[in-house]
Amino acid sequence: MTIQTVETHKTFNGNQTKYRHFSNRLNCEMVFSVFLPQVTDNQQIPIVWWLSGLTCTDDNFSQKGQFQQYADQYKIAVVIPDTSPRGETVADDDNWDLGQGASFYLNATQKPWQTHYQMYDYLTKELPSIVYDLVPNFSGRESIMGHSMGGHGALILGLKNPQRFAAISAFAPISNPLNTPWGNKAFTAYLGTDKKEWENWDATALIANGDVVPPIYITQGTADNFYEEQLNEQAFLEATEKRKVNVRYQKVDGYDHSYFTIATFIGEHFAFHQKHLK
């Protein structure tokens, strides 16, 4: 497989690099970004995966997240995939909350989406095999985080793969897509109308039905205009309380859905991941 370096930038002692490759699982070219901290020759490096939200690309977090100083401080590599397959031959929708930029990080089963929209397999099988070779002295330890739709993605990937991910964190996640307009629209299109199938991609249902649950940390702004309709946490927290899950859910007064919120609290999230990646 050919991996092309698109661009690289030195920042906070490390290097932020964007790559391009052809994905056999998604049947299209994909880009992803990797931050590598400055390390000594023999220093072991864990990986934190970041999944971005609706309409975003790998550039949003790499350019606005202001995480690099913490990743270098804790000597953590950060992998940022794109949010969906892309290209002229890839199915899309006229609305911003479906199609390209809005994969919901699942494996689609319905036409026309199933040909390309296999993001779960891409992130659990194909991309890791590429990334592990790009991270020198990879320690074998990983955790995952994300924002909004990417928070949903981080939760479902972490919950479905607890042996792989040591911890999960999220900003303003869609934690119960079964009961939100965004989730209903995407799941109907990608998965069909069988809501039992939807439960396989809903964090609240996975908490209720799962066995091992990694530690979880969530930050939600009180001024987030999507909160009431799309991001309400009540069902999720009820499920975690019933299962006695190690979860910290914090609401931060006056903060919204933007990267200003992420940049403000990203240091706390990296400290959380560092604790569980040791």
The question of whether 121 is a catalytic residue gets the answer no
Catalytic residue among 84, 224, 269, 273: 224
Report how far residue 272's alpha carbon sits from residue 276's, in angstroms, rounded to the nearest whole number: 7
In angstroms, the Cα distances linking 138 to 128, 131, 135, 261 are 12, 10, 6, 30
The question of whether 59 is a catalytic residue gets the answer no
The question of whether 148 is a catalytic residue gets the answer yes
Catalytic residue among 116, 257, 269, 273: 257
Catalytic residue among 23, 148, 169, 175: 148
Nearest residue to 262 (alpha-carbon basis) of 177, 170, 182: 170
Helix (H) or strand (E) holding 159: helix 149-160
∠ Cα 137 138 140 (to 5°): 140
Residues facing 15 on adjacent strands: 10, 36
- Which residues are tagged catalytic? 148, 224, 257
